[in-house]
Amino acid sequence: MLVANSLLMISMPGGSEWILIIAVVLLMFGGKKIPELMRGLGSGIREFNDAKNNVKKEIEEGMKEKEKAPTSQP
């Protein structure tokens, strides 16, 4: 029962909470700074996805090289 209660407390914000969050962000940063903030967030997400894809590609290439390498047993 305790686990179920703790999961309910970590739910996503509803409609009114989102409005409150957006209002606070507008008050803190102002209308002119928000596009810069979103551009920075977008470029950060893009860089993260590029790095993730590069790591995935390197792992897959390493697995292919391991499959191609002849196994010699003495």
Give the start-to-end residue ranges of the domains of the chain: 31-64
* pLDDT tens readout for residues 10-34: 677 788 888 998 888 888 888 888 8
pLDDT for 6: 58
The residues, ordered by sequence, that sit 6+ positions from 25 with a Cβ below 8 Å of its Cβ are 34
pLDDT for 51: 96
Alpha helix stretches (DSSP H) within the chain? 2-9, 15-68
Confidence of residue 39 (pLDDT cuts 50, 70, 90): very high
Express as a percent the part of the chain with pLDDT over 90.
Answer: 32
